[in-house]
Structure 1
Amino acid sequence: MSRAAVLTGVGSCLPPRAVSNDELAAGLGSSDEWIRSRTGIEQRYFAEQGTATSDLAVGAGEKALKSAGVSAVDMVLVATTTPDRPCPATAPTVAARLGMRGTAAYDVSAVCTGFVYGLATAAGLISARVADRVLVIGAETFSTLLNPEDRSTAVIFGDGAGAVVLRSGDPREPGALGPFDLGSDGAGEDLISVSAGGSRQRLSGADPAADDRYFTMSGKEVFRHAVRRMTGSARTVLARADWDAQDIDHLVSHQANLRITHHVADSLRIPRDRCVSNIAEVGNTAAASIPLALDQAHAEGTLRPGGRLLLTAFGGGLTWGSAVLTWPELDRF
């Protein structure tokens, strides 16, 4: 009998410090109006000194486990671009702090698509009977990668974590994930990158320039690729599910930019009022954006049992991916 990964719990965690557009704009020759009009962002959250990605991941994981009514799982996956250290992976630390020493745990690195890749990985593990329950976390402290003088990136990204618990179940029951669509194109690796810190830079024989330590993004090219790739991936997964776009109750896309979300919705002919968006409140939180949006929409009562959801994301690599599910009945805390 086939097994599906069924969403059974959701949670999130944001650092306490909210950073307004006005706070950032003053040092960038920008304004609140400029930032809002181009990104849809009003504020974001930055982790304080002493807070690491694992701290936010643990906070989100605890809430997701509570939502699912369980204290342990068989596998912990952490999707992140900002691990606590280059080595070891952050996931084993998170698992241990959640009381699961001995549990299999590893990181997933696909930048902003990381959470969708993590969902697909977890679904495969459950389908193959490697695991019965998996905790998938997207967690980022992207503020650690930002050049505070680069207004093309400094105003966009924020820190946070979101998580879901998946269990084995019937493919026909509410919460069952799938089908999926995943893709990548490494020819675009320089469009979204941090040049310093990896083997290519370390083995070049040259010291990195100061700016090479920061995150960079070719905004116009990324915008174009994001819309095209998320739209194409979404169409593929809808066809595999035998769903029509008009049947979608909520589009939950990676919260990259509100204009990107609207372009994708328009291309798919999904009304904009069906887009789940929290980018105004939290900014672009990379791998954490979709689970953060899911948890917030669930807490607010936007997501109702039986609603059809389309998830889609695009990130560095270049990577992209999509999935569908019917929203299950979950407790709210």
Structure 2
Amino acid sequence: MKQNSLQYSAITGTGSYLPPRVVSNDELAAELAQRDIVTSDEWIAERTGIRQRHLAERGVTTSTLAAEAARRAIEDAGLQPGDIDLIIVATSTPDFVFPSTACLVQDKLGIKNGAAFDVQAVCSGFVYALTTADSFVRAGRSRHALVIGAEVFSRILDWNDRSTCVLFGDGAGAVVLSASDEPGILAAQLRADGSQTKILCAAGNVAYGEVVGDPFLRMDGQAVFKQAVTVLDRSARDVCEEAGIAVGDIDLLIPHQANLRILNFLARKLDLPADKLVVTVDRHANTSAASVPLALDAARREGRVQPGGTVLMQGVGGGFTWGSVLARMTATKR
């Protein structure tokens, strides 16, 4: 593709997919009780805002969820799979060590051209992937990029650890980012602090045919809360300043859906009213890299995202990573 220094990128389609199995807090509490682990709907909801989550059946892979969300985003953009020339999948639960989940998705969609690769930034993954795709499109190296956040976090949870296993769910969300004559991605910022790796990690790995280290997700919840609200507040103000938009003038805030307390606290710090905050954590739980695109698609289906509206998407997660993307939404097929 011939490079065009005046080219911008814009979100032209969104899609999502959640596994059919919905597990309520009561159902999960009953399952955990069989292992003498005591919890309840009240205990979970009061601390997290979560009421239910979608869990993939055994054998259902991240690429399967990702491909279905991708099909819906491509259709929403009014395109065919063959129009896609770049696929980036954000995930911490890839099907394999390699090939990448993005290559598996490319095959499932029947796409033969363009690049495909994964991005690993845990719960910030979608924001990292979207910012990366924006750079490709603006450089003239992609015309229609498929950006996916997809996870099967149920695979890496310690189901004997009440403090973590109740928090997460499975799912996938996707957007199509297309070349545009008008700016769609208005500003973006990515950051990381590798000294904070231990507050949220899954530190095990496979070596010499056996699992080495702890293969399960571990989290220091209080430390994550403190870091999350601080860095997301600062990042939101930075990208709005870069775009020349007052924080109070954005139309929707879509933060990573980790915990309702974090979401509400962040909105208050930014002095944003409740009707500008998108919340799906009650329905989806924490779906890591999938949470932001799932919430974006849900907001669009609910009619909360209007053409010309500004949406601030934010991720924060293990690494420690965080970032923000401010986008002006365009009219799409839906």
Query: Structure 1 length as normaliser, TM-score?
Result: 0.94
What is the Cα deviation at residue 151 of structure 1?
Answer: 1.2
What is the Cα deviation at residue 178 of structure 1?
Answer: 2.5
Contact 2:147/2:175, CA 8 A, preserved across alignment: yes
Q: Deviations over 1:37-76 (max 9, x none)?
A: 1111000000012210000000000000000111131100
What is the Cα deviation at residue 170 of structure 1?
Answer: 2.3
Contact 2:256/2:315, CA 8 A, preserved across alignment: yes
Contact 1:41/1:281, CA 8 A, preserved across alignment: yes
What is the Cα deviation at residue 96 of structure 1?
Answer: 1.2
Q: Matches of 2:332 and 2:261 in 1, distance apart? A: 31
Q: Does 1:160 align with 2:168?
A: no
Q: Matches of 2:158 and 2:333 in 1, distance apart? A: 40
Structure-2 residue corresponding to 1:220: 222
Structure 2: runs of 5+ lacking an equivalent: none
Q: Deviations over 1:105-153 (max 9, x none)?
A: 0001000000000010000001111111100000000000101111111
| Paired amino acid for 1:253 | P
What is the Cα deviation at residue 101 of structure 1?
Answer: 2.2
Contact 2:130/2:147, CA 8 A, preserved across alignment: yes
Contact 1:2/1:171, CA 8 A, preserved across alignment: no
| Paired amino acid for 1:255 | Q
Structure-2 residue corresponding to 1:15: 19
Structure 2 residue aligned with 1:97, among 108, 111, 114?
A: 108
| Paired amino acid for 1:150 | D
Structure-1 residue corresponding to 2:186: 178
Structure 1 residue aligned with 2:258, among 250, 256, 259?
A: 256
Structure 1: runs of 5+ lacking an equivalent: none
Structure 2 residue aligned with 1:245, among 235, 244, 247?
A: 247
Contact 2:10/2:329, CA 8 A, preserved across alignment: no
Structure-2 residue corresponding to 1:135: 146
Structure-2 residue corresponding to 1:115: 126
| Paired amino acid for 2:201 | S
Contact 1:95/1:103, CA 8 A, preserved across alignment: no
Structure-2 residue corresponding to 1:290: 292
| Paired amino acid for 1:18 | V
Structure-1 residue corresponding to 2:76: 67
Contact 1:41/1:279, CA 8 A, preserved across alignment: yes
**In structure 1, the residue corresponding to 2:111 is in which secondary structure?**
coil
What is the Cα deviation at residue 328 of structure 1?
Answer: 1.8
Structure-1 residue corresponding to 2:196: 188
| Paired amino acid for 1:115 | F
**In structure 1, the residue corresponding to 2:164 is in which secondary structure?**
helix
| Paired amino acid for 1:259 | R
What is the Cα deviation at residue 160 of structure 1?
Answer: 0.2
Structure 2 residue aligned with 1:30, among 14, 31, 39?
A: 39
Contact 2:78/2:333, CA 8 A, preserved across alignment: no
Q: Does 1:145 align with 2:147?
A: no
Q: Matches of 2:182 and 2:230 in 1, distance apart? A: 29
What is the Cα deviation at residue 207 of structure 1?
Answer: 6.3
RMSD (CA atoms): 1.5
What is the Cα deviation at residue 192 of structure 1?
Answer: 1.0
Q: Deviations over 1:7-44 (max 9, x none)?
A: 00100001010011012223231110111111110000
Q: Does 1:320 align with 2:331?
A: no
Structure-1 residue corresponding to 2:55: 46
Q: Matches of 1:264 and 1:330 in 2, distance apart? A: 30
Q: Matches of 1:103 and 1:125 in 2, distance apart? A: 12
**In structure 1, the residue corresponding to 2:330 is in which secondary structure?**
coil
